[in-house]
Chain A
Amino acid sequence: MELKKEMLRGTQLSESDFRAGKVITTDWKPELHYAWDNGVGIGYYLAQLKAGKITASFCNKCNRIMLPPRAFCELCFKPTDGWVDVLDTGTINTFSVSLVDWAARRIKKGERPHTPAVIEIDGASPGHGMLHLIGEIDPYEIKIGMRVKAVWKKPEERTGSITDILYFKPIREPKASRKK
């Protein structure tokens, strides 16, 4: 049986239906707060961020240095073997220049576009890194493969949060010392 337009139900509402008061809606704005415990792996990660360090956990069996750090290795399914500090430099794996906010609203006129990036962190296993923001560069100059370094909040302002790193900024390095 072919599905034809006249067989399909559903009533599209338009803005004018609401303006004309033809539609009654029930509104609810939840007031609900959560306190998320950070756990063993991320708890230590945050404590180390507060101290100005990026810390990974490692698995000797899989030979991985993992970011974000975790209490157990999800691949070989055993506890991780310890912590290791990695560098606060890395390479942009990919990025965006976003003109919308978290709720898909357009950013204000004149506001700097949001510049999220996936950053592979030096010292962690290839591909391991984090979502963070890029700063101190014209958003339209950002490139995949660009080398970046964390810009930290002042020690007294850090709270043990991913936002203790304000953003990552591009760095210039002599070619010979450039890390993969």
Chain B
Amino acid sequence: MGLRRVAIVGAGLTKFMRRAQETPKELAYEAAKLALDSCGLRLKDIDSVTIGTAPDAFDGVHRKGEFLADGSGGFGKPTMRHYVGGGTGCFSPTHGWFHVASGMFDTCLVVAEEKMSCAFPHPAGAFLTIFDHTTEQPLYPTLIWIFAMEMNRYMNTYGIPKELIAKVSVKNKGNALDHPAAQVAEKITVEDVLNSEVMAYPVNRLDISPVSDGAAAIVLAAEHVAERITDKPIWIDGMGWNLETSYWCTRDLAYPDYVEKAARMAYKMAGITEPHRQIDIAEPYDPFSYKELHHMEGLLLCGKGEAPQLLADGVTERTGRLPCCPSGGAMGVGNPIAATGLMKVIEIFLQLREEAGARQVPGKPRTGIAQAWGDLMQVGTVVVMRR
């Protein structure tokens, strides 16, 4: 394509928390600083900055990109914000990739931050205005409704029992026990999930990721620079993103077609023809338990309606053939929206470098994928990484 190869060379995170004392820019700073330190760079070594953050309504602050810019090392530099709702964090590497692959910059600091805790009575209320203001808002929808209805359609279409879906929470909250940033890591059982209070049938409390504050950051570098910075660069080899209709009632709610389109775009770029064989490790977006399964199918890691069985068979455990959300995911580590997607990218980065510590999957994984999803259940963002 006449473009330069781009590597991730450094990564940083904050803890993920229900309510952080730090301001958004302080959180961004902590993640960005750790990312720079992790690869021995200083801010002066960074040519450009991209910032990912989701709805302004969480913070009640407009121009959130500029608001976060000093914490993200962005003052006095070519700085840009990107935003595709919950899909933001896995779009962040793509945004940075353009800066570096194009040849305009040799290094780019990519920062994703979310502080959800400022909105009252509950940050879920900030989502009211994602619905159509005339045809839907007067019915006072909550975001949980559309998840519940999508989950119901998914279960009904393929005859999936709730017990199989609950196992996503069990696996991911368990995996998160080994994650240093984890907010809601715990050892639970399928019964705990099924017995937790019903929020909106078929969604129980333990099917939902928590409200979180947190930040994540990575450092990108062009090939010739990356190899000076680290002997373990992780290459961004494929990217895809796709936007489906806002007329969400019209969509096939049982299958995320837009995730498939995004995945196919990323696979084509990465030369992947058989994703279920060629991908060693995956971080599908899991803001709700069923979404991990929904997204595994959209990512073509298995056939439609087959993901619950793979989960039941242990295939997606850390020790399985296709580990999914070895980090603990949004369900376990927490879900500061934009930062979650980038946390997933960082997990793949660490796993491919064999630096994931107690979370390390066996078998020296070579190819990994991270995916996020968002807006009105309509955007898929995908990144394929290799060592």
Residues on A lying within 8 angstroms of B by beta carbon are: 1-5, 7-14, 23, 28, 30, 34, 36, 38, 42, 45-46, 68, 74, 93-105, 114, 116-118, 127-133, 144, 161-163
Chain B residue, CB-CB nearest to A36: B133
Contact A162 B139 (CB under 8 A): yes
Q: Is B30 an interface residue (CB 8 A)?
A: yes
Report B1-38 CB contacts with A as 1/0, cut-off 8 Å.
Answer: 00000000001111111111110000100100010001
Assuming A8-B15, A96-B145, is B22 touching A131 (CB within 8 A)? no
Task: Give the shortest distance, in Å, between A120 (CB) and chain B (any CB).
Answer: 8
Chain A residue, CB-CB nearest to B143: A104
Assuming A7-B34, A30-B60, is B139 touching A104 (CB within 8 A)? no
Q: Which of B41-49, B147-155, B311-319 contacts A (4 or more CB under 8 A)?
A: B147-155
Contact B152 A94 (CB under 8 A): yes
Q: Is B229 an interface residue (CB 8 A)?
A: no
Report B122-160 CB contacts with A as 1/0, cut-off 8 Å.
Answer: 101100100111111011111011001110110010000
From A3, A13, A116, B149 is in contact (CB under 8 Å) with A116
Residues on B lying within 8 angstroms of A by beta carbon are: 11-22, 27, 30, 34, 38, 60, 121-122, 124-125, 128, 131-136, 138-142, 144-145, 148-150, 152-153, 156, 180-181, 197-203, 213-214, 245, 247, 249-253, 346, 350, 355-357
Chain A residue, CB-CB nearest to B140: A102
Contact A13 B139 (CB under 8 A): no
Contact A3 B180 (CB under 8 A): yes
Q: Which residues of A contact B346 (CB under 8 A)?
A: 3
Q: Would you call the interface of chain A mostly helix, strand, loop, or mixed? A: loop
Task: Give the shortest distance, in Å, between A148 (CB) and chain B (any CB).
Answer: 14
Contact A104 B153 (CB under 8 A): no
Would you mind naming 19 contact pairs between A and B with Cβ atoms under 8 Å apart? A2-B350, A10-B16, A11-B21, A30-B60, A46-B134, A93-B249, A94-B152, A94-B253, A96-B200, A97-B198, A98-B200, A99-B197, A103-B122, A114-B140, A114-B145, A131-B131, A132-B139, A144-B156, A162-B135
Contact A10 B134 (CB under 8 A): no
Q: Which residues of B contact A131 (CB under 8 A)?
A: 131, 135-136, 139, 141, 249
Assuming A36-B134, A97-B200, A103-B122, is B153 touching A8 (CB within 8 A)? no
Cα A1 to Cα B353 with chains together (Å):
9
Contact B121 A103 (CB under 8 A): yes
Q: Which residues of A contact B142 (CB under 8 A)?
A: 98, 100-104
Query: How many pairs of residues, A versus B, come closer than 8 Å at their CB atoms?
Result: 174
From B12, B148, B245, A96 is in contact (CB under 8 Å) with B148
From B125, B156, B213, B247, A68 is in contact (CB under 8 Å) with B247
Cα A118 to Cα B149 with chains together (Å):
8
Contact A11 B149 (CB under 8 A): no
Contact B249 A118 (CB under 8 A): yes
Chain A residue, CB-CB nearest to B213: A10
Assuming A28-B60, A42-B134, A131-B139, is B156 touching A94 (CB within 8 A)? yes
Task: Give the shortest distance, in Å, between B24 (CB) and chain A (any CB).
Answer: 12
Q: Which residues of B contact A102 (CB under 8 A)?
A: 124-125, 128, 140-142
Assuming A96-B152, A100-B199, A103-B121, is B14 touching A10 (CB within 8 A)? yes
Contact B214 A101 (CB under 8 A): no
Task: Give the shortest distance, in Å, between B254 (CB) and chain A (any CB).
Answer: 9
Task: Give the shortest distance, in Å, between B355 (CB) and chain A (any CB).
Answer: 5
Chain A residue, CB-CB nearest to B347: A3
Contact A1 B355 (CB under 8 A): yes
Q: Which residues of A contact B247 (CB under 8 A)?
A: 68
Q: Which residues of B contact A163 (CB under 8 A)?
A: 138-139
Contact B14 A129 (CB under 8 A): no
From A28, A34, A116, A129, B145 is in contact (CB under 8 Å) with A116
From A12, A101, A104, A129, B19 is in contact (CB under 8 Å) with A12
Contact A130 B135 (CB under 8 A): yes
Task: Give the one of B20, B140, B142, B202 with max A CB within 10 A.
Answer: B142
Task: Give the one of B122, B140, B145, B202 with max A CB within 10 A.
Answer: B145
Task: Give the shortest distance, in Å, between B338 (CB) and chain A (any CB).
Answer: 16
Contact A116 B141 (CB under 8 A): yes
Cα A129 to Cα B249 with chains together (Å):
6
Given contacts A127-B252, A163-B138, 8 further A-B contacts (CB under 8 A): A10-B14, A12-B21, A13-B19, A34-B133, A95-B149, A100-B142, A114-B140, A162-B139
Cα A68 to Cα B356 with chains together (Å):
48
Q: Which residues of B contact A9 (CB under 8 A)?
A: 14-15, 22, 30, 34
